[in-house]
Amino acid sequence: MPAHRFGMRFLLATGVMVALLVGQHEAEAKKSPEKVFRGQILTSNTRFPTSAKSVSTYIKKLKKNKKTKFVEDKKTKSWKIYVAAFFKKPLNDLEITVKLYDVTTGRRHLVNSFEQYTEGRGQTSLISHIKLEREFFGVNKKIMITMESRKMVLAQGTFHILGEEEKLSGKVDFTED
């Protein structure tokens, strides 16, 4: 479903999207990022690295960047969240469906869904970023993000968006202007 159907502007940087290409041989394949983070979507307030001197260093950098709580940018009234998704199995398509659910109450409520094109078949990971706007998500919510292909969940993760709730005075003015 198109993002505009939900009345929401949603940004996913396709220019930032990068397939992680890490040269692996048999010994490193056992501890590859795709194996360590299989089926997970990591979130961060800073960009995820796309390479490192070794596979183990790369995994450490990913773990160090991982964050699950994001504070609202008060000027833009939004959250910019960097994502690194590691699929359960190689992608057998050219697009994925990204879904965002509000799971604050324990029940899943779909907030937005959109299609994202990838670089090609066989891709095992995706690095990008999203921008969530207060107007559509609210504040102090727990959000679950999934990436799916043909109705099969390839990766998922959860994070919290934090901010100050609107302060209402409680006063009502019924005078006519």
CATH at 142: 2.60.40.1930
> What integer pLDDT is reported at residue 80 of this predicted model?
96
Rounded CA-CA distance 153/140 in Å is 26
Which amino acid makes up residue 53? K
Rounded CA-CA distance 156/26 in Å is 27
In which band, very low, low, confident or very high, does the pLDDT at 177 lie, cut at 50, 70 and 90? low
> What integer pLDDT is reported at residue 100 of this predicted model?
96
Residue among 136, 15, 9 nearest 72 (CA)? 136
* 13-35 mean pLDDT: 49
> What integer pLDDT is reported at residue 167 of this predicted model?
67
Does residue 79 form part of some domain?
yes
pLDDT surpassing 60 at residue 95: yes
> What integer pLDDT is reported at residue 51 of this predicted model?
86
Does residue 176 form part of some domain?
no
Q: For tokens 């800073």, what's the residue?
A: 46
In which band, very low, low, confident or very high, does the pLDDT at 30 lie, cut at 50, 70 and 90? low
| pTM summary value | 0.76
3-state DSSP call for residue 156? strand
Under a CB-based contact definition with an 8 Å cutoff, are residues 103 and 159 in contact?
A: no
Domain tally, the chain: 1
Does residue 168 form part of some domain?
no
Does residue 111 form part of some domain?
yes
Does residue 56 form part of some domain?
yes
* 45-71 mean pLDDT: 93
b (16+ CB within 10 A) / e for 12-42 = beeeebeebebeeeeeeeeebbbebbbbbbb
Rounded CA-CA distance 112/137 in Å is 9
Does residue 175 form part of some domain?
no
Does residue 109 form part of some domain?
yes
Does residue 174 form part of some domain?
no
Under a CB-based contact definition with an 8 Å cutoff, are residues 101 and 86 in contact?
A: no
Domain that holds residue 88: 3-162
For residue 56, the surrounding DSSP H or E stretch is helix 55-65
* 36 token code pair: 């360590």
Residue 153 CA: distances (Å) to CA of 29, 98, 125, 135, 147: 23, 10, 13, 27, 6
In which band, very low, low, confident or very high, does the pLDDT at 168 lie, cut at 50, 70 and 90? low
